[in-house]
Structure 1
Amino acid sequence: MTSKQRAEKSAEAMWASDAASKWAGMEIADVDEGRATLELTVKAHHCNGHGICHGGVTFMLADSAFAFACNSRNQSTVAQSNSITFTAAGRLGDRLIARATEVSLTGRSGIYDVAVENQNGEMIAAFRGLSRAIKGQLFDE
């Protein structure tokens, strides 16, 4: 099995049980070893009292992309710590694209950066996630 096939099978196994990402309206655009791209169209129920995309929705999208990237090797992995910096507002109708990229993987600990942009390439948020591998796999290999 290639690393791309393993990442896709890992994502498929995770997606099957990921009610939260589906509920939010996310879609997986691409996965590979150490990276993942998820997308979401901002709808009215994603907007806050200012009429812009709620920061928690943007964080959730980035966190989900992070999760699919750090689980791409079929090793169960969870978040250890996350942070986000919002650089612009997502707006109703925007297509938000979260691209997660592995920065470092040493032993059981990983560092991932996620850039969230809109459909025009405008940066919406920068997210950093620290991961920790735990016991188990997503599928039998």
Structure 2
Amino acid sequence: MTPKQRAEQAAAAMWDQDNASKWAGMDLIGVDEGEAILALTVQQHHCNGHGICHGGVTFMLADSAFAFACNSRNQSSVAQHNMISFIAPGQLGDRLTARAAEQNLSGRSGIYDVTVTNQDGQKIAEFRGFSRAINGTLFQEN
């Protein structure tokens, strides 16, 4: 099995159980080893009292991309801690895309950067996630 095939199978297993990301309206665009891309179209129910995309929605999108990236090797991994910097507001109707990329993986700990952009390529947020591998896998490998 190639690393990309492993990442795709791990993502399929995760997506099958990921009710939160699906509930929020996210789409899984693609994965590879240490990488993931998810997207979401900002709808009315994603907007806050200022009429812009709620920061928690942007964070959730970035966090989900991070999760798919850090689980791409079929080693169950969870967030140890995360941080986000909001750069520009997402607007109603925007198509937000979160691209996660592994920066470092050492033992059980990983560092991942996620950039969230809109359909015009404008940066909306920068997210850094720190993962920790736990016991278990997402699917049985032969």
TM-score band (shorter)? over 0.9
SS, match of residue 136 in structure 2: coil
Residues of 2 paired with 1:46 and 1:91: CA distance? Answer: 9
How far 1:140 sits from its partner (Å)? 0.3
Q: How many residues align?
A: 141
Counterpart of 2:62? 62
How far 1:106 sits from its partner (Å)? 0.2
SS, match of residue 90 in structure 2: coil
Counterpart of 2:41? 41
How far 1:81 sits from its partner (Å)? 0.4
How far 1:15 sits from its partner (Å)? 0.4
- The unaligned stretches of length 5 or more in structure 1 are none
SS, match of residue 130 in structure 1: strand
Residues of 1 paired with 2:11 and 2:139: CA distance? Answer: 10
Residues of 1 paired with 2:67 and 2:100: CA distance? Answer: 9
Does residue 118 of structure 2 align to residue 118 of structure 1? yes
- The amino acid across from 2:23 in the alignment is W
How far 1:87 sits from its partner (Å)? 0.2
Does residue 21 of structure 2 align to residue 5 of structure 1? no
- The amino acid across from 2:28 in the alignment is I
How far 1:34 sits from its partner (Å)? 0.1
Residues of 2 paired with 1:73 and 1:45: CA distance? Answer: 34
SS, match of residue 88 in structure 1: coil
Counterpart of 1:101? 101
Residues of 1 paired with 2:90 and 2:52: CA distance? Answer: 6
Q: Deviations over 1:103-137 (max 9, x none)?
A: 00000000000000000000000000000000000
Residues of 2 paired with 1:120 and 1:37: CA distance? Answer: 16
- The unaligned stretches of length 5 or more in structure 2 are none
- The amino acid across from 2:125 in the alignment is A
Q: Deviations over 1:25-65 (max 9, x none)?
A: 00011100000000000000000000000000000000000
- The amino acid across from 2:70 in the alignment is C
Structure 1: which 4+ aligned runs deviate by more than 6 Å? none
Residues of 1 paired with 2:47 and 2:107: CA distance? Answer: 39
- The amino acid across from 1:50 in the alignment is H
TM-score (norm 1): 1.00
